[in-house]
Amino acid sequence: MARYQNEHFTETAWIDWVSRQTLTQREQFLFGLSGKYKPQPYGPFYVSHYFLLMHDAGAEVLLPTDHITDNGGAEIKLGMDFSHKTVFDSLTVEAGV
């Protein structure tokens, strides 16, 4: 896992090897990214994103019906953070795809 952060931007990346490739076992790993950008450090507006990938490769001895598969998902959101204007610990409104 690695993280970069400054007053406007935070980005986190990680990778987790689930299985290494052998003669009979598939190589598999998970990879992810997430981050947030605030144009004004103390302003309410922000943009955030998330990405996840599951890589499932074949074993060293390939079978005719065995293929590499990559499954993933991504999300991007626009949001407003009103946490500093309320008595709640956090209050945000977000919309995205």
* Average pLDDT, rounded, for the chain: 91
Number of Cβ within 10 Å of residue 33's Cβ equals: 14
Residue type for 34, please? S
Contact 76, 54 (CB under 8 A): no
Q: What is the pLDDT of residues 22-56, one digit of tens each?
A: 887 888 999 999 999 999 988 999 999 999 999 98
What are the DSSP calls for the chain, one per residue?
A: -EEEE-SSEEEEEEEEEEE---SSS--EEEEEEEEEE-SSTTSSEEEEEEEEEEEEPPPSS--TT---EEEEEEEEEEEEE-GGGSSSS--EEEEE-
pLDDT value at position 73? 97
Number of Cβ within 10 Å of residue 84's Cβ equals: 9
